[in-house]
Amino acid sequence: MKTVCLIGRPNTGKSSLFNRLIGENRSIIMDMPGITRDRIYGICTYKNKKFSVIDTGGLELGNDNFREDILIQATFAIDEADLILFIVDGKTELNQSDYMIRDLLKKSQKEVIVVVNKMDNLKRMDEIYRFYELGFSEVLGISVAHKIGIEELLLTITKDIPENLSDQKEKNCRFCLIGRPNVGKSSLVNAILNEERAIVSDIAGTTRDATDTKFTYHGKDYIMVDTAGMRKKGRIYESVEKYSLLRSLKAIEESDVCVLVIDALEGITLHDKHIAGLAIDAGKALVLCVNKWDTIKNPETELKKWQELIKYEFQFVTYTPVVFLSALTKKRIHLLMPEILKVYENHGREIQTSLINNVIKDAVELHQPPSYKGKRLKIFFVNQEDVRPPKFVFYVNDKGLVHFSYERYLENKLRSNFDFIGTPIVIKFKNRNEK
């Protein structure tokens, strides 16, 4: 996926433009204040084309130089980007910080578009020529607040991006291993590949980057991604670990299936559940993998206890399969890939419209929606709008009458009638006359 990075000094409108690009319904991958100055990853979809967007903290001079941590952050973002949007303020004159940023971008030799924000009227648009002195060939005037020039900017960004028209079910499955540091992700990579491909150590944090590995399983090609362990916000000290976390989050977004690795010795932690939530929020299929099962005494007895514990601790993903294995001894390792492939298939599952409507009709007859102030929800029609994850649209008389408990009831009916094990499903309600 093409990556677009927003760079500029403070208060030029970078974050406002970011929010405009990703839109209200776009999935924000990361928003963690205090880490690398509120760096945020998001996905923009425009006319059946997708690209990744990075918002960065404002770069400003201090003591004749940028603050070291901000400069490291900017350098990392520039290195990740295919295209850089250099955001400047159309209401003010260019200053020393702008020229320092220009020099930084020139050295990168990346494609740069100067985006002049706050060009709120035609008089200001006439002054856009003065920003060519920054030395970049492409300069666009916009106003995020007034939605001026956004369409032209999006057309420029996406001109070389092919439309996402390929059949998603035909592409190679890409899955990533996620989890806390030192739970055995790299050992699991080696066990799946049956070779020493990743550096394995009992020192937490050995893996610093998300690494892709192509391999063949039963005659088909797959891509496996090993990610750095995700620490809690308060435990991220080294700057390199901040970037490892960002890359892990990006790996989640670019994968079809996430395998959450849990340490059988340490048990389930709150952070394990938080990481699972990141995968679900990104709309990814999920498999829970309890590693280091060789360290458990009386595994048959403990298996039942663990199954009950997982059911209790992961109540928000009760549809997720669980695999108990040992990456070190490779015991039960053969159980993992079939589960990954099963949830991958379910993630892209399409259901006939007639079957969906029959199931929902029976569900409504069995349990009528609750009434509110004399009104009752009526469901006229249901269709599946998308896959990965499966998305269903319910056309109703008044979507304001939908109670969260009834929405959960409808989701459970869909799950009990169709195989959606391992994948989140999205339900949207629209009024019948709504476009």
Which amino acid does the sequence have at 83?
A: L
Kindly report which listed range (6-15, 228-237, 298-307, 417-426) carries the lowest average pLDDT score: 228-237
Closest CA to 113 of 80, 152, 147, 144: 152
CA distance 115 to 138: 9
Question: Counting Cβ atoms within 10 Å, is residue 72 exposed (0-12), middle (13-18) or buried (19+)?
Answer: middle
pLDDT classification of 352: cutoffs 50, 70, 90: very high
User: Can you tell me the mean pLDDT for 373-381?
Assistant: 92
Q: What would the pLDDT profile of 28-40 be if each residue is shown by its tens digit?
A: 333 333 333 445 6
Helix (H) or strand (E) holding 387: none
Predicted local confidence at residue 235, as pLDDT: 43
Asked whether the predicted pLDDT for residue 138 surpasses 80, the reply is yes
Predicted local confidence at residue 214, as pLDDT: 81
Q: Are 126 and 100 in contact (CB under 8 A)?
A: no
**Strands 40-46 and 49-55: what pairing?**
antiparallel
Predicted local confidence at residue 347, as pLDDT: 96
Asked whether the predicted pLDDT for residue 63 surpasses 60, the reply is no
Q: Output the average pLDDT for the chain.
A: 83
Of 24 and 118, the structure prediction assigns the larger pLDDT to 118
Helix (H) or strand (E) holding 400: none
pTM, entire model = 0.63
Q: What would the pLDDT profile of 75-126 be if each residue is shown by its tens digit?
A: 777 888 899 999 999 989 999 889 989 999 999 999 999 999 999 887 778 8
Which amino acid does the sequence have at 434?
A: E
Phi-psi region of 63 (alpha: psi -120 to 50; beta: other; left: phi over 0): left
Cα 70 to Cα 15, 56, 109, 313, 322, distances in angstroms: 16, 9, 20, 38, 41
Predicted local confidence at residue 318, as pLDDT: 93
User: Can you tell me the mean pLDDT for 223-236?
Assistant: 62
Asked whether the predicted pLDDT for residue 243 surpasses 80, the reply is no
Return the exposure string of 132-156: e unless at least 16 CB atoms fall within 10 Å of the residue's CB, then b: eebebeebbbbbbeeebbbeebbeb
Report H helices in 227-320: 239-254, 270-281, 299-313
Through-space distance between the first and last CA atoms of the chain, rounded to whole angstroms: 29
Predicted local confidence at residue 209, as pLDDT: 42
68-80 helix and 239-254 helix, angle to the nearest 10 degrees: 30
Kindly report which listed range (202-216, 218-232, 298-312, 329-343) carries the lowest average pLDDT score: 202-216
| DSSP symbol at 323 | E
Sheet with 3-7, side-by-side order of all strands? 28-31, 40-46, 49-55, 3-7, 83-89, 111-117, 139-141
Predicted local confidence at residue 123, as pLDDT: 75
Q: Are 99 and 126 in contact (CB under 8 A)?
A: no
User: Can you tell me the mean pLDDT for 319-342?
Assistant: 95
| DSSP symbol at 256 | S
Kindly report which listed range (31-35, 53-57, 320-324, 425-429) carries the lowest average pLDDT score: 31-35
pLDDT classification of 239: cutoffs 50, 70, 90: very low
What is 118-184 written as a DSSP string?
A: ---SHHHHTTGGGGGGGS-S-EEE-BTTTTBSHHHHHHHHHTTSPPS-S-GGGSPPEEEEE-STTSS
User: Can you tell me the mean pLDDT for 193-222?
Assistant: 61
User: Can you tell me the mean pLDDT for 132-142?
Assistant: 94
Q: Are 342 and 321 in contact (CB under 8 A)?
A: yes
pLDDT classification of 24: cutoffs 50, 70, 90: very low
User: Can you tell me the mean pLDDT for 247-275?
Assistant: 87
